[in-house]
Amino acid sequence: MAWVYVSIGSNTDRERYILSCLDALAERFGALQLSSVYESEAVGFTGDNFYNLVAGFETELPVGQLSAALKAIEDANDRCRQGPKFSGRTLDIDILTYDQLTGDCDGVKLPRGEILKNAFVLRPLAELAPQAAHPLNGQSYSELWQAYDQASQKLWPVDFSWQGCQFSYSS
């Protein structure tokens, strides 16, 4: 079994699609570890704010099959793949890490570069797995978040419940 972290984001009917995503992930992969949900401004385009979080879970699927399963969840949640790369979306699920694999694995570049570039990925990952080490540079996600220019991208936690339990709290 491999341990995987994925980022989840939505800026269209955000709560509905995040909840649907979590249901689908739990049904397919079992128990999930979840970060808080963060709201952030769109990066790379002008659009509605996103909800973002990171989920961790175990899988027996190889990287390519996992990627296909995540794309199927996106597609089942009305993901449109015809628009520009940087645009609004119902659901975006990206593999961040798959154990400590690095490089191109079944067409998926690991670890995902956005870990080091985007607060909406790094902050929830640092919250969920503070002591876990980035597969390339060996720094913990907590250390990476502390060193990150936190003023460069605004994001804030929001109240969020799933399956009757509140797991995310605004400050």
pLDDT digits (tens, 9 = 90+) for 124-135: 999 999 999 999
Number of domains the chain is built from = 1
pLDDT digits (tens, 9 = 90+) for 47-88: 789 999 999 999 999 999 999 999 999 988 665 646 655 555
Question: What CATH number is associated with residue 25?
Answer: 3.30.70.560
Higher pLDDT, 81 or 160: 160
Q: Which of 28-32, 73-77, 118-122 has the lowest mean pLDDT?
A: 73-77
pLDDT value for 80: 62
**pLDDT exceeds 80 at position 171:** no
**Separation between Cα atoms, residue 50 and residue 77, nearest integer Å:** 16
Higher pLDDT, 90 or 17: 17
User: What is the domain range of residue 17?
Assistant: 2-168
